């Protein structure tokens, strides 16, 4: 009990003034009734308002296929591929991940820690792009300010390949 | 340098004759890559090459593959695989073993002559080395055209690079300002047209989006290169585009010949 308490105190301290800001994201992959369904490839990245990519936070694709065959379709996330992907070495630790099934997926990125790292103060967009084999492609953007001075939230809604995408920022 | 611009159809007719002996009138030469922007570890691009009116429909004659020059990202020559020529099109594959940009070209350099012999109009086509013996001494009204043509397209694995795009300095070429594998609808691309490695100004360039058979309008853009050879193309829609430019005149290394340089490119424009 004491141990737990002190641990809580410690983490409480760490979450204090010195704690890093957080970016929490919820990405909904819609359930579809189609004859042939494959989980979409999804890229999540941070861009400047002029669409220059700053950081790729996550890429969900077929990382387990033989001979890295899953990378063949990375270019179908064509904005991410153009802005960031084509210059990256993949798979990338902490960025590459398996595709996700339909449902809501929570991801958390912490300032100062990979893959978000240190982001200079300013205005940004969080971008989510999804491309599905024998399916479509969609991209949504949520603008945000970094670092957050107070808790903040942003929303976007896809119409085809993405459902609700919500972003919450913790100072 | 004095350059004369002639109607494109005449040029197309002549170059079509060069590319395909059976072509009787104006046709467009083109290469069509299966993909231009690629990712992954061992992707291949397959290319169709043909001469036709409709873009990009195989409906006339195949392009001959004897002038293929494929340059890899390291500027080394890449050998085409599975090359074949069918009734309407030729085809070949390129394994993209090295990341970067590949320049896929069909390059031609040849002579065309017309002359009169005993009151009869004659034509001849061949290489410079054959010229001396090809035309009888008693021929009159001899007209020799030295044709330099380049028909090309590009494909990129990973990040676009420019080493393969280094101009050869021969004939008409397209030098990148905007990379030819980084084209998106709603944006304006810039290229520089070069003649023998030097900016080619005031040259008319025709740009046509493929898929004309599915629309009523030919959808043709006529553009002209600026003083520094700069060409600006605004892409309204995504698609596969064909472009052609021709320069007639200027000095030819072949004595008494008029030089005609033709450039044809296929460029893919992706949606945003």
Peptide bond into A103 cis (omega under 30): no
Report all structural domains of chain B as residue ranges with CATH numbers, in order of start. Answer: 10-110+144-269 (2.60.40.1930), 111-143 (no CATH)
pLDDT at residue B1 greater than cutoff 90: no
Residues 45-84 of A with CB under 8 A from B: 67-69, 71-75, 78-79, 81-82
At A12 the pLDDT is 42
| Distance separating alpha carbons of residues B73 and B165, to the nearest angstrom | 9
pLDDT at residue B48 greater than cutoff 60: yes
Peptide bond into A115 cis (omega under 30): yes
DSSP-based three-state secondary structure for B214: helix
- If one compares B251 and A79, the residue with the highest pLDDT of the two is A79
Tens digit of pLDDT at every position of chain A (171 positions): 444 444 444 444 444 445 799 999 999 999 999 999 999 999 999 999 999 999 999 999 999 999 899 999 999 999 999 999 999 999 999 999 999 999 999 999 999 999 999 999 999 999 999 999 999 999 999 999 999 999 999 999 999 999 999 999 999
Closest of A127, A130, A131 to residue A142, by C-alpha: A127
At A118 the pLDDT is 94
State the count of interchain CB pairs (< 8 A) between A and B.
38
Report the chain B residue with the minimal C-alpha distance to residue A90.
Answer: B40
pLDDT at residue B22 greater than cutoff 80: no
| Distance separating alpha carbons of residues B215 and A53, to the nearest angstrom | 37
ipTM score of complex: 0.85
Are the Cβ atoms of B271 and A74 closer than 8 angstroms? no
pLDDT at residue B6 greater than cutoff 70: no
DSSP-based three-state secondary structure for B50: strand
Q: Are B213 and B198 in contact (CB under 8 A)?
A: no
Long-range contacts of A92-95 (CB under 8 A, 24+ apart): A92/A56, A92/A59, A95/A56, A95/A57, A95/A58, A95/A59
Residues 149-168 of A with CB under 8 A from B: none
Closest of B271, B44, B91 to residue A72, by C-alpha: B44
At A72 the pLDDT is 96
On whether any CB of chain B is under 8 Å from the CB of A37, the answer is no
At A16 the pLDDT is 42
The pLDDT confidence band at residue B249, using thresholds 50, 70 and 90, is confident
Which parts of chain B fold into alpha helices (H)?
Answer: 8-19, 131-134
Q: What is the pLDDT of residues B71-128, one digit of tens each?
A: 999 999 999 999 999 999 999 999 999 999 999 999 999 999 999 999 999 999 998 8
Name the residue ranges covered by the structural domains of chain A. Answer: 4-170
Closest of B5, B1, B9, B7 to residue B202, by C-alpha: B5
The pLDDT of B143-166, averaged and rounded, is 97
On whether any CB of chain B is under 8 Å from the CB of A85, the answer is yes
């Amino acid at each position: 009990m004491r141990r737990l308490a002190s641990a809580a105190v410690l983490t409480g301290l760490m979450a204090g003034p010195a704690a890093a800001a957080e970016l929490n994201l919820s990405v909904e992959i819609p359930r579809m009734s189609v004859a042939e369904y494959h989980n979409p490839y999804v890229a999540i990245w941070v861009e400047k308002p002029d669409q220059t990519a700053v950081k790729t936070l996550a890429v969900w694709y077929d990382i387990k296929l033989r001979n890295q065959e899953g990378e063949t379709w990375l270019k179908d996330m064509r904005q991410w591929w153009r802005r960031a992907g084509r210059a990256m070495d993949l798979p990338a630790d902490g960025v590459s991940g398996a595709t996700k099934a339909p449902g809501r997926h929570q991801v958390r990125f912490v300032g100062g820690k990979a893959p978000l790292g240190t982001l200079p103060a300013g205005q940004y967009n969080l971008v989510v792009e999804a491309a599905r084999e024998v399916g479509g492609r969609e991209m949504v953007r949520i603008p945000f300010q970094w670092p957050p001075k107070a808790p903040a939230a942003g929303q976007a809604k896809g119409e085809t390949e993405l459902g609700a995408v919500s972003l919450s920022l913790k100072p | 340098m004095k350059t004369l611009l002639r109607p494109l159809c005449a040029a197309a007719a002549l170059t079509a004759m060069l590319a395909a002996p059976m072509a009787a009138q104006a046709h467009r030469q083109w290469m069509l890559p299966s993909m231009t922007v690629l990712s992954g570890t061992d992707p291949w691009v397959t290319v169709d090459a043909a001469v036709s009116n409709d873009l990009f429909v195989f409906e006339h004659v195949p392009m001959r593959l004897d002038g293929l020059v494929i340059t890899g990202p390291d500027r080394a020559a890449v050998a085409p695989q599975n090359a074949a020529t069918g009734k309407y099109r030729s085809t070949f594959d390129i394994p993209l073993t090295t990341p970067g940009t590949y320049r896929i070209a069909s390059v031609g350099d040849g002579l065309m002559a017309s002359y009169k012999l005993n009151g009869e109009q004659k034509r001849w086509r061949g290489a410079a080395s054959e010229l001396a013996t090809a035309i009888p001494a008693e021929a009159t009204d001899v007209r020799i055209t030295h044709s330099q043509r380049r028909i090309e397209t590009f494909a990129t694995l990973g990040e676009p690079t420019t080493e393969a795009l280094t101009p050869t300095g021969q004939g008409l070429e397209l030098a990148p300002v905007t990379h030819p594998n980084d084209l998106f609808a709603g944006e304006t691309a810039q290229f520089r047209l070069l003649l023998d490695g030097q900016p080619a100004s005031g040259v008319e360039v025709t740009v046509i989006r493929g898929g004309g058979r599915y629309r009523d309008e030919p959808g043709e853009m006529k553009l002209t290169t600026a003083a520094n050879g700069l060409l600006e193309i605004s892409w309204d829609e995504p698609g596969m585009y064909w472009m052609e430019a021709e320069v007639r005149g200027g000095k030819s290394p072949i004595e008494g010949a008029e030089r005609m340089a033709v450039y044809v490119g296929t460029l893919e424009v992706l949606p945003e």
